[in-house]
Structure 1
Amino acid sequence: MPYTLYRLAAGSYDLLLDGTVMGGVVRDVPPDGDVRRWRAELLDDLPPLQRPQPFTEIEHRFDSLEEVVSWLGDAAITNNS
C-alpha cells in the first residue's frame, strides 16, 4: 500500500494512494492551544468494504505525525517545493 503524504503547509498534507489524492492529514490545534493531535481522513464517505486499508472509519486520530506515517505503512513524505 504505497501511501504518500504531500505537504501543503505546516500541519497539512494531501494523502495520496498510488498517486491519487484520496484524503488528507491535518494537525488539529485547539483554541486553547493545549493538546495538538493529528487526523487522517478520507475525502469520500466510502462504505466500509470500499475503504482503502488501513481505514476502518472515514477519520482516524493520532497523537503524532509519526504515528500517522507508521499506521499508513511508513508513508513517504514529500515537501511542496
Structure 2
Amino acid sequence: MAYKLSRLASGSYDVLLHGVIIASLVRSGETHHATWTAELLVNLPPGERPAPFTELEHAFGSLEEAQSWLGDAEVHGAGGED
C-alpha cells in the first residue's frame, strides 16, 4: 500500500491511499505523552477495510509508530515537528 500523510495542522493529518483521503491521524494529549489515533472515515465492513486497518481505529504511541504501521507513509505538507 502506498499511504501518504498530508499535514493539516500540528498533530493532525489526512491519510491518503492512492490520492484519496481514507482516514485521519490525530494526536491527543500532551506532546510528550501523546496518543496518536488513525481512524477510517467510512465505516467499512472488516473484509473491505484497506490493510493494515483491521478495526475502524488504531492507537499508537508516536507519529513514527503510526507512519511505520502505514508502510512508512511519507509526510507532505507544512513544515515543523509534531
TM-score by length of 2: 0.90
Q: How many residues are matched?
A: 79
Distance 1:50 1:6, change over 3 A: same
Identical residues among aligned pairs (%)? 53
**Aligned equivalent of 2:16:** 16
List gaps (5 residues or longer) in structure 2.
none
Distance, in Å, in 1 between the alignment partners of 2:4 and 2:73 is 5
Distance, in Å, in 2 between the alignment partners of 1:53 and 1:15 is 13
Instruction: Quote the offset at 1:34 in angstroms.
Output: 7.9
TM-score by length of 1: 0.91
Alignment of 1:38-53 (within 5 A): 38-53=36-51
Distance, in Å, in 1 between the alignment partners of 2:40 and 2:8 is 16
Amino acid at match of 2:43: D
**Aligned equivalent of 1:70:** 68
1:25-73 Cα offsets, whole Å, 9 max, x none, are: 000127xx88311000100110000000000000000000000000000
List gaps (5 residues or longer) in structure 1.
none
**Aligned equivalent of 1:26:** 26
Distance 1:3 1:34, change over 3 A: closer
